[in-house]
Amino acid sequence: MNTTALRQKILDLAIHGKLVKQDPTDENAAVLLEKIRAGKEKKIASGELKRDKNDSYIFIGD
């Protein structure tokens, strides 16, 4: 196996979460994004953070 093929295989395994054991306490990505969004909104409401002029692509459509 050449280095290019090896690199591609490692990337494929990483994308599919096969390189390390899954932590059962890890949260779903949607839950994590909602926590980030809520924390950001709380900081905006308290004046600690200004609202972005351009929304992040992650939050568009929410």
Domain boundary assignment for the chain: 22-62
* Confidence band, pLDDT 50/70/90 cuts, at residue 43: very high
Whole-prediction pTM: 0.53
Q: Per-residue pLDDT for 61 more than 60?
A: no
Q: Per-residue pLDDT for 58 more than 80?
A: no
Alpha-carbon distance of 3 to 15, in angstroms, equals: 18
Alpha-carbon distance of 29 to 26, in angstroms, equals: 9
* Confidence band, pLDDT 50/70/90 cuts, at residue 8: very high
First to last CA, the chain: 45
Which pLDDT score is estimated for 59?
58
The first and second tokens of residue 62, run together, are 């929410």
Which pLDDT score is estimated for 22?
83
